[in-house]
Amino acid sequence: MEQRTLGTSGIQVSAIGLGCMSLGGWAYGAFPETDEAVRLVQHALDQGITFLDTADVYGPFTSEEIVGRAIKGRREHVVVATKGGFVVTDPSTHALGKDGSPAHLKAACDASLRRLGIETIDLYQLHRPDPQVPIEESVQALSELVAAGKVRAIGLSECDLPTLVRASKVHPIATLQSELSLWTRDVLAEILPWCQAHGVAFLPFAPLGRGFLTGRYRSASQFDSNDFRSGLPRFKQEALAQNLGIVEQVEEIARRHNATPGQVALAWVLSLGDNVIPIPGTKHLSYLEENIGAASLVLTSEDLAQLNNLPSPVGARY
């Protein structure tokens, strides 16, 4: 698979990574078996994916443990990214609070290292800026983790441009992670161009529109109550029905290439620049194979023009 670089860190990764949020049974319902999740990650590595993205709150903790098991004995072939700065305030509902304090981030990093079973985290990301802690203090703590040899590079997740600029003055920011897909394009106006101009890699999460752009979801009734998409505005039945118009155009392009709609959606994200490294997540081997296939799909200028002119989705992200 094509290789791309995590910003100015120089770390090379596969053009498509694997998002590991759902592997611990978080947000998208329970994963059937831990062993099955481990096998999925190992299959991804076998197929050329070298970049794994997880976080301590996924599970909480179980996703990191699964990744740790999966990479045992293969550490030199894997780039591991994880995150700290969220805390689970209510395990029954997965309610989250933010803690970007230096003490918390350093303790969280040590705990992640133990669960992952590694000596150094390749990319450690602040999961969300904490409004109670100046970003400079959070990034300084991450910088000290680099100096201590516990982290190779640092990144941010879901922060606005002014915060990113302030953070970059404290320590080089290798990556910014945020949502980006054919139906979530907010970052295209300012944030992605800034990242491209300043050597920051962009890591799109939910590049398949939380599965919607694959065309597999035609009704809100397909989501179980423990699937957090059931509560998102875009997945409510009235909005979903209108948003199917977006999917139909993606499906049209997919038919022209003998590809799947999901592959078209991922190929569009990959076309946005060499610094863009999507991290789709999945719990299914067949979907993993499908996502990997997107790396070899080349969209025409006509395809890209049609995709760039898709209508905005009905409903907010959250």
pLDDT on residue 228:
81
For 63-122, give the secondary structure using H, E and C: HHHHHHHHHCCCHHHCEEEEEECEEEEECCCCEEEECCCHHHHHHHHHHHHHHHCCCCEE
pLDDT on residue 32:
58
Calpha distance 244→180 (Å, rounded): 18
Angle between helices 161-168 and 135-147 (to 10 degrees): 40
pLDDT at 25 over 80: no
CATH number for region 3-208+272-283 = 3.20.20.100
What are the sequence ranges of the domains in the chain?
3-208+272-283
pLDDT on residue 258:
98
Question: Residues 28, 58, 217, 287: which is the catalytic one?
Answer: 58
**Position of tokens 């350093």?**
106
Q: Which of 228-237, 242-251, 253-262, 278-287 is least confident?
A: 228-237
Closest CA to 231 of 244, 220, 242, 246: 220
Contact of 44 with 17, CB cutoff 8 Å: no
Backbone φ and ψ for 125, nearest 5 degrees, come out as: -120, 140
**For residues 21-43, average pLDDT:** 80
2: number of Cβ within 10 Å: 11
Percentage, residues of the chain above pLDDT 90: 87
pLDDT in tens, 207-231: 999 999 999 999 888 888 778 888 8
Active site residue 58: yes
Q: Residue 46 has which token pair?
A: 């076998």
Residue 26 confidence class, pLDDT cut points 50, 70, 90: low
Q: Which of 28-32, 77-81, 183-187, 264-268 is least confident?
A: 28-32
**For residues 83-92, average pLDDT:** 89
